[in-house]
Structure 1
Amino acid sequence: MKRSIKSVLTASMAALCVLGMGMTANAYELNPEVKDVTPALREASTVGVWTAENPAMKEAPDKDAILVMTFGTTFTDTRTKTIDAVEAAIQKAHPDVPVFEAYTSHIIIDRVKANEGITKMTPEEAFAKLQAEGYTRVAVVSLDVIPGMEYSYDSVVTKMQVPHFKKISLATPLMYFQGTEGEPDQVVDFLKALSSQFPKMGKHDATLIMAHGTPHPGNAYYSVIQDRIQELGMDGVFVYSVEGRPNLEDVIPKLKAGGYKNVTLMPIMMVAGDHANNDMAGDEPDSHKSILTKEGFNVKTYIHGLGENANIRGLYVDRATEALDALQK
């Protein structure tokens, strides 16, 4: 009988030997004929929450912190309701571990500074601050929705900091596991949480959930989302993206073929920023609302970021808890 990733974790870890930094996380079971597991093979087989230990700081005292990484936003109102709200929820769940924040977009950092006089830290600046203040173990939490390009950046910048701390962990994004190898289906978890904000829909009503899109292979998650939408019987719900596939042009024929007349647009992004207010709901001729109206649909917009949904905030708290648990093992 095939064992799950978690069931083989302990045995796999005992068999792995990595020179320099010690890295642990969920891992696929390697063929028993593989006797000498190289660092590259070990890293390639890592899935789930990523952790790394620095043997040079083995005797350092444990002082823990949580670092939340987010792309950020220049929209003050949605920032308060989403990013700040998620961070507050994480802090409430872990009152004894301070929560810090880093913006990954340098453009947004500059604009927030210029327009509001507020200084947001880059990840590198945040890590330097934590190191200067004596924190030795850091649980990094990403507010990304899928493991796409932004999450890859979070991963790289986190791994570059390993020499400066005793231990680091990196949480998975909102959606990661898809129900294989005994792991949960976090796409289903996400959709169930999101459904609390769906409008009441009749036979001719559709809800289009707008994702960002990415050139990263992680864009394939949107196809998985649509598959799970169908599995869950969420008739009339379609996912599309601003900068990836499927896009609005892919969905419009499906709306017409299904006889839908009324459409509600809502973003599935952490914040309701420029994409939600302008690309999706703007009055310009090329906005999604305008395009659908021209195609004969009655269009409503739901301009709220995912961080406003208490159920979604709960999932991010779960990710933070998983990272913190891995950090403290």
Structure 2
Amino acid sequence: MKKHYFKSSMMATLMATALCTGIASCSDKDDVESTLNPAERTVSQAKKHDTALLLCTFGSTYKESLSVYDDVMNDFKKEFPDVDIYMSFTSRTCINRVQAATGIERYELDQWLKAIGNAGYKRVAVQSLHVIPGEEYLSLMNTDIKKYFMIQWFPHIDVLRGANLLSEEEDTKMVADVLYSHYAERLSDKNHIVLLMGHGNPDENYSANQKYAEVQKALQAKAAHKNIFVGTVDYGDMLFWPKEVEENPADRLTDVRTVRSQYPNCIYSQIMQYCEDNGLQPAHVKVYIAPFMSIAGDHAHNDLWGLKALAEGADVNKVELNTNEYSWRERLEKIGFQVQEDFESHPIKEAGADHGIADGCGIRALGSYPEIRRIWVKHLREQWDANAWENGKDYQ
């Protein structure tokens, strides 16, 4: 009786111990898996070569960006067939929202870099898809790539860094050639104006903003009527309305001639001066608007076209020109210009679509032009052919 009780007790104890151990093991495994870098599996499954290429862009939650990013990836795959290619967003905000909008999972830049570094690659190329050498670009190359990846994390891996779109004077000329060719027919009529909206850096200390002025100069040198202008959504001197008024709408300037004399570089001043110089009234001028950005994302849809306002049926007559609450389209129409929707625009019936539409959007961004995408490819190819690889040991 005692022996039977002893054996039963021992068996129960062993089973309980095993059960507890099993539970603990599963719990520990879950904890480990929950802390794993999600990019590790993607990289380990995709790895086929000894060299990796990470394309880095600010990112977007808009569905229109998908085809452009696919085109960019395909361009680099054709040029570098023996390289494993990945794409990362540098904007955490975009990463956090993009899966819900597009269904595509994006990883943070440091997750991509650590996954690629741990995968056993001997060489890693990093290509910027930024337009200007501004804050985002410099942070990517000097902090994320050089300081962390090359020096702190993987000093033994050779790295190649590809420049942003407008890194050289030749790039400005090439971009201007492409855009002028695209708008040439419309620019031949002085009653037409083309407006391009770049992003820009809010910090005026970044000389990178000068790149927009250089592009405008190159475009106007080609256009006989000089009727094409480049502004920004985030840089004071090149906003639609003067920075001082945009930031302090309570101190609005009502004398528009004062605005034009004190702030000649803002878009409003430039287009009104153009009309005056050519004896035109805004009502007689057709305006074509497009983003001077890599993709047609939030800025293109809302800050440029004001699609949210279109979807909500906003009355343009109630728009106040000198506030930052309205899109360029709304302000232009308030002044009296004819903003053209038959050339490149978002379908009005889809204006209320959350995060844009995957197909059918006519807004054309820089990444939509094969010739412009090739400039990014060219930058990396030039570095590649120059054998400009380096590693963290060079800085230690």
- TM-score normalised by the chain length of structure 2: 0.62
Whole-angstrom distance in 1 between the partners of 2:388 and 2:332: 50
1:162 aligned to which of 133, 150, 155: 150
CA contact (8 A) 1:138 1:327 kept: no
Is 1:106 paired with 2:92?
yes
Q: How big is the shift at 1:193?
A: 2.0
Per-residue CA shift, 1:105-158, capped at 9, x if unaligned? Answer: 111111123444432122211111112221121111000001011111111211
**CA gap 1:173/1:87 in 2 versus in 1, 3 angstroms:** same
**1:255 is aligned to 2:315:** no
**Structure 1: 5+ residue stretches without partners:** 1-61, 179-184
Q: Structure 2: which 5+ residue stretches go unaligned?
A: 1-48, 242-265, 310-318, 320-325, 345-362, 390-396
Of residues 212, 217, 225, the one that matches 2:215 is 225
More helix as a share of residues: 2
The equivalent residue for 2:314 is none
* Contact kept? 2:193, 2:228, Cα under 8 Å: yes
Q: Does 1:239 align with 2:230?
A: yes
For 1:101 and 1:203, the matched residues in 2 are separated by 42
Corresponding residue number in structure 2 for 1:296:
336
User: Which residue of the partner structure matches residue 359 of structure 2?
Assistant: none
Larger Rg: 2
Q: Distance between the aligned counterparts of 1:328 and 1:65, measured in 2?
A: 15
After superposition, what is the alpha-carbon deviation per residue over 1:186-227, rounded to whole angstroms, capped at 9, x for unaligned?
111111122343262211111011101112331121222222
How much has 1:83 moved relative to structure 2?
1.8
Instruction: Report what 1:320 is aligned to.
Output: 380
In structure 2, the CA distance between the partners of 1:117 and 1:83, relative to structure 1 (3 Å rule), is closer
Match of 1:68 in 2: 55
Cα pair 2:160 2:388 within 8 Å, conserved: no
Measure how far apart 1:64 and its partner are.
1.4
Equivalent pair of 1:139/1:327 in contact (CA under 8 Å): no
Deviation for aligned residue 1:305: 2.1
Using the alignment, how far apart are the partners of 1:159 and 1:73 within structure 2?
25
Structure 2: distance between partners of 1:123 and 1:324? 22
Number of matched pairs:
261
Q: Tell me by how many angstroms 1:67 deviates.
A: 0.8
Mapped to 2, the partners of 1:131 and 1:146 lie a distance apart of 27
Question: Do the aligned residues in 1 keep the contact of 2:180 with 2:223 (CA within 8 Å)?
Answer: no
Residue of structure 2 in register with 1:190 after alignment? 175
SS in 2 for 1:198: helix
Find the aligned partners of 1:123 and 1:300 in 2 and give their Cα distance: 39
Q: Superposition RMSD on alpha carbons, in Å? A: 2.0
Aligned to 2:351: none
- Is 2:366 aligned against 1:306? yes
| Worse-matched range after superposition: 318-327 or 100-109 | 318-327
- Contact 1:169–1:326 (CA under 8 A) maintained in structure 2: no
In structure 1, C-alpha distance between the alignment counterparts of 2:369 and 2:92, rounded to whole Å: 27
Sequence identity of aligned pairs in percent?
Answer: 29
> Is 2:125–2:162's contact at 8 Å kept on the other side of the alignment?
yes
Within 5 Å, give how 1:1-329 maps onto structure 2. Answer: 63-76=50-63, 78-155=64-141, 156-160=143-147, 161-163=149-151, 164=154, 165-178=156-169, 185-198=170-183, 200-201=185-186, 202-214=189-201, 215=203, 216-233=206-223, 235-244=226-235, 245-249=237-241, 250-259=266-275, 261-283=285-307, 284=309, 285=319, 286-300=326-340, 302=344, 303-327=363-387
Decide whether the 8 Å contact of 2:61 with 2:102 is kept in 1: no
- Asked if the contact 1:194/1:311 (under 8 Å) is kept, the reply is no
TM-score (norm 1): 0.74
